[in-house]
Amino acid sequence: MISAIKRLFSRKPIAARAFDAARMSRLLADWVTSSYAIDADIRAGLTVLRSRSRDLCANNGYGRRFLELLAGNVVGPQGIRLQSKVKRPDGKPDDNANQKIEAAWSAWCRPANCTVTRKLSFTDLLALGIKGLARDGEMIARTVSGFARNDFAFAVQLLDPEYLDHDYNDIANGIVMGVELDEWKGPVAYHILTNHPGRSEYPLQPAQKRQRVSAAEVLHVFVTERAEQTRGYPWTVAALKDLHQLGQYRYSEAVAARVSAAKMGFFTRNSEGAYPYDDKDSSGNLIDEVSPGKFQELPSGYEFKTFDPTHPNQAFGDFCKSALKGIASGLNISYISLANDLTETSYSSGRQGLLEERTFYMMLQGFLVEHLVQPIFEAWLPHAIASGKLALPMRDLERWNAPVWQSKRWSWIDPSKDIDAREREVRLGVNSRTRIAGDLGLDIDDVYTELHAEKEAAERLEIDVSGSIGKGKGCEDGTKNQNQAD
């Protein structure tokens, strides 16, 4: 028994026996087996990846659709809105301070104050930022203190990621792809080009100069996929190849269908003795006229051969749909949203797909708030107080920094069913009106204030709205009927 155990453990292990994916064979010879540091991969492929991503997002309908879906759902028409939640020392809301902060922030968010170009509002900035993150892989925003072109002495400068030269590397000084790092791989400074490397007005590009900008002034936003990653890369990377190939296939199929619709043909001589045909145009082609009900006799020795390609291919639609499903998965959104195709969607499948997609959008909203919106607010706050646009004392700066950010939320897929479910959750005590309002992108204090003002206005004008708010007869009857139905 002991000798058998010794023989079992003395056997040499067979390489990669437990993992089929690690085997080497003729069929797997083209599968990548080498591994490099993430920065090495990004540096080698960033120029091509970013150029191709920009091309497809500009010229491919599905690529452009992806960017618009992100801007419309992550940012939305009203942007990410501030709800100041400053409290007094006794723990009650400081309504006076909250109103002042919200009013000053709203004024700064206008195009005339928000960016150094004085062209973009804060909502525009966020929409441009999320598009840039998806298309280019990263966003670079510089906070400019002491800006003299607005009353807040503060603005944001958006920079094309090309200004951060990924070919600038100085390992001795800790510079990797234009980013100066400390011993812990944290950013210390950014080496920004003074001229865009792709500006076409320069026939001969002058020697590029760089400006060292402290990391405290720069918001370098990108999604970190691997540890020790210094630069971002396009989110479209997993779908770029398939999206390009599908676009080329659709174009080729469209051209083939156009040729097929022309129903062309050719005149050919069927013998050496066929005499020349005199009725030709200036280019030497046989002239033929087509009109309804007209039959024409060919000259002796000639035959007519039709050219009738059959396009579009019968499998065209199914092939495109299958390809788009893979592309949508690579972009992390639903197929029905990317393709605008609801033909085979049921209520259950549509609801499930949209709920998963909206979870992705909410994750991106949280990412934007944490890495862009909140840092800009914290940089703006002392400048707003110092400039006098926010009439609050600087000594309580930390107390004024109490924002809650309201992002876009979506209408329920089946409003009646979902509202009934939320109502039951409130009655069971497992949900609150505050949370429900938050899910709708609303602030419960604003809702109650509006309801109170609406009720006062209705009483002043002697209008009965007791069926919708308050404890009127209509509300009591409605609650009683609902309880009986339950």
Q: What are phi and psi of 193, to 5 degrees?
A: -65, 140
DSSP 12: P
Predicted local confidence at residue 52, as pLDDT: 96
Q: What are phi and psi of 26, to 5 degrees?
A: -60, -35
Predicted local confidence at residue 420, as pLDDT: 84
In sequence order, what are the beta bridge partners of 212? 191
User: What is the rounded CA–CA span in Å between residue 42 and residue 294?
Assistant: 66
pLDDT, block means (10 residues), the chain with 486 residues: 57 61 83 87 94 96 96 95 94 94 97 96 97 97 96 97 93 95 96 85 66 96 95 96 94 82 65 57 59 62 68 81 93 91 72 83 96 98 97 96 93 76 87 82 80 85 69 42 43
User: What is the rounded CA–CA span in Å between residue 358 and residue 345?
Assistant: 17
User: What is the rounded CA–CA span in Å between residue 51 and residue 44?
Assistant: 13
User: What is the rounded CA–CA span in Å between residue 21 and residue 31?
Assistant: 10
Rg (CA), the chain: 33
Place of tokens 């009900």: 293
Contact 189, 170 (CB under 8 A): no
CA distance to 325, 348, 357, 435, per residue, from 414 (Å) = 25, 11, 17, 19
Predicted local confidence at residue 485, as pLDDT: 41
Predicted local confidence at residue 443, as pLDDT: 77
Predicted local confidence at residue 386, as pLDDT: 97
Domain ranges within the chain, ordered by starting residue = 38-236, 264-307
Cβ partners under 8 Å of residue 347, min gap 6: 413, 414
Model confidence pTM above 0.75: yes
User: What is the rounded CA–CA span in Å between residue 17 and residue 15?
Assistant: 5
User: What is the rounded CA–CA span in Å between residue 383 and residue 414?
Assistant: 46
